[in-house]
Amino acid sequence: MTGVLADSQLKDMIARGDISARPAIIPAQIQPASLDLRLGQVAYRVRASFLAGHGRTVADRLSEFEMHRVDLTEGAVLEKGCVYVVPLMERLTLPKGVQAVANAKSSTGRLDLLTRTICDGGTEFDRIVPGYDGPLYAEICPRSFSVLVRPGMRLNQIRFRDGQAILNDADLSALHSDTPLVDGPAVIDEGLGFSVDLRLSGTDGTAGSTLVGYRAKPHTGVIDL
């Protein structure tokens, strides 16, 4: 089978050493189709966001971008508006044909905490090429709140894919007709489209509410993650 690997396959990868960590991966990290990634013990405050680029390592680039280091061992505050790079506890030795895609966990996104995964030789955020062998890093930028973090916290997650398992528009339309994928008409054009609903309606779908979202206060206390 091709497509995203399930938890049983992730456990096999861990047993083979395709996914390793120090300290060892714990069962709570393994989700039905993804693996939670844990922060390491140090954060590097950097001047700007960056990617390693072909033939370069993140460690090499840190020597260019690093401003100072923050010890996370006892917990430390990552300041709003700053960019940090944190080595993760996990590393990969991917088999040929297996690639990975990372994303922030939903709780991270709700705090407006930009969290992306970078790796050695990487030319895209959150993308790890097939056969990658090396460490992983989290780039963290608190955009609305300063946050208190500690080693082992899980802010992002990673999914592994063996080959391609993408439905074309005709197959998506057929699937939606058989088992509706969204409420209402499906917008299918090179994939299933989603958009933000900014209509002024109540939580039950009725008119009358003026609330469409939340904006962070300009001055607020530190949030302990």
Please write the tens of the pLDDT for every residue from 81-131.
Answer: 999 999 999 999 999 999 999 999 988 888 889 999 999 999 999 999 999
- To the nearest whole percent, how much of the chain has pLDDT over 90? 77
20 close to 29: Cβ distance less than 8 angstroms: no
Same domain? For 36 and 16 the reply is yes
Same domain? For 71 and 113 the reply is yes
Whether residue 217 lies inside any domain: the answer is no
pLDDT of 204 strictly over 70: no
Same domain? For 103 and 189 the reply is no
Whether residue 211 lies inside any domain: the answer is no
Whether residue 214 lies inside any domain: the answer is no
Same domain? For 111 and 192 the reply is no
Same domain? For 118 and 187 the reply is no
Interval 50-92: pLDDT, tens: 999 999 999 999 999 999 999 999 999 999 999 999 999 999 9
Q: How would DSSP label each residue in 162-209?
A: ES-----HHHHHHHHHHS-SSSSS--BSSSB--------B-TTS-B--
Q: Which two tokens stand for residue 209?
A: 């509410």
Same domain? For 90 and 177 the reply is no
Residue 117 CA to residue 138 CA, distance in Å, equals: 5
Ramachandran angles phi, psi of 152, nearest 5°: 90, -10
Give the DSSP H or E segment for 70: strand 66-71
pLDDT at 107: 83
Q: Which two tokens stand for residue 196?
A: 């933000």
153 close to 105: Cβ distance less than 8 angstroms: no
Domain that holds residue 16: 3-162
pLDDT of 206 strictly over 70: no
pLDDT at 33: 95
- To the nearest whole percent, how much of the chain has pLDDT over 70? 96
Total domains in the chain come to 2
Residue 50 CA to residue 124 CA, distance in Å, equals: 10
Whether residue 32 lies inside any domain: the answer is yes
CB atoms within 10 A of CB 2: 11
Report which of residues 217 and 137 the model is more confident about: 137
Residue 34 CA to residue 41 CA, distance in Å, equals: 23
Whether residue 77 lies inside any domain: the answer is yes
Half-sphere exposure of 36 (CA within 13 A, CB side): 19
pTM of the model: 0.85
Same domain? For 68 and 131 the reply is yes
Interval 8-17: pLDDT, tens: 999 999 999 9
SS3 call for 88: strand
pLDDT of 199 strictly over 70: yes
Same domain? For 150 and 193 the reply is no
Q: Rounded mean pLDDT of 196-217?
A: 70
Give the mean pLDDT of the chain.
92
Highest mean pLDDT among 91-100, 159-168, 199-208: 91-100
